[in-house]
Copies of this chain bind each other. A is one copy, B any other.
Amino acid sequence: MTAHGATEDEAAVRAANTALYDAFETGDIDLMTSVWLDESAGETATCVHPGWAPLHGTAQVLRSWSMIMANTAYIQFVLTDVSVSVSGDTAVVTCGENMLTGLPSTVADPTPGLAGGRAVATNVFRRTSTGWRLWVHHASPVLTSEESEA
């Protein structure tokens, strides 16, 4: 693989990774569907939301995103420490998911403001004829702040 090809791959993978969070932020299930593998090649999509057990299969995974997005009034991501490792037709991305979510409004407080949260994600992409598609998403809460704990 040439350096040029590697750079192009990495840029395409980063764009695919960004599309996942764009889809979540905008509640766009069509974009979310286009992010994931359609499994026609035989792979089984896998998704672990923070604190959840794994979900398998594109249909089940997309149902979970529909439910989560329907229950999210507002969310905004700032991704940090985005790391990309491409090997052949597979790419592994890890990133910090720094979230800003809207708190539910109440009669007493109609403008309750925002809450922050932090998780880390591993996203595995597969090269397909229609570009890099998400094969695995695993997100989990970060309970320690030390990046260099080891």
**Which A residues lie at the B interface, using CB under 8 A?**
41-44, 46, 48, 50-56, 60, 63-64, 67, 81, 83, 85, 87-90, 92, 94, 96, 120, 122, 124, 126, 135-136, 138-144, 146-147, 149-150
Contact = CB atoms under 8 A, between A and B. Distances in A.
A122 B94 CA distance: 13
A142 B53 contact: yes
Contact of A138 (B42, B51, B140): B140
Contacts of A143: 50-52
A44 B83 contact: yes
A109 B126 CA distance: 52
Tell me how many chains of this kind the complex includes: 2
Contact of A88 (B50, B88, B142): B88
Given A94-B54, A122-B54, A147-B53, A85 B44 contact: yes
A6 to B, nearest CB: 9
A118 to B, nearest CB: 9
A150 B48 contact: no
A144 B81 contact: no
A52 B122 CA distance: 12
A146 B85 CA distance: 33
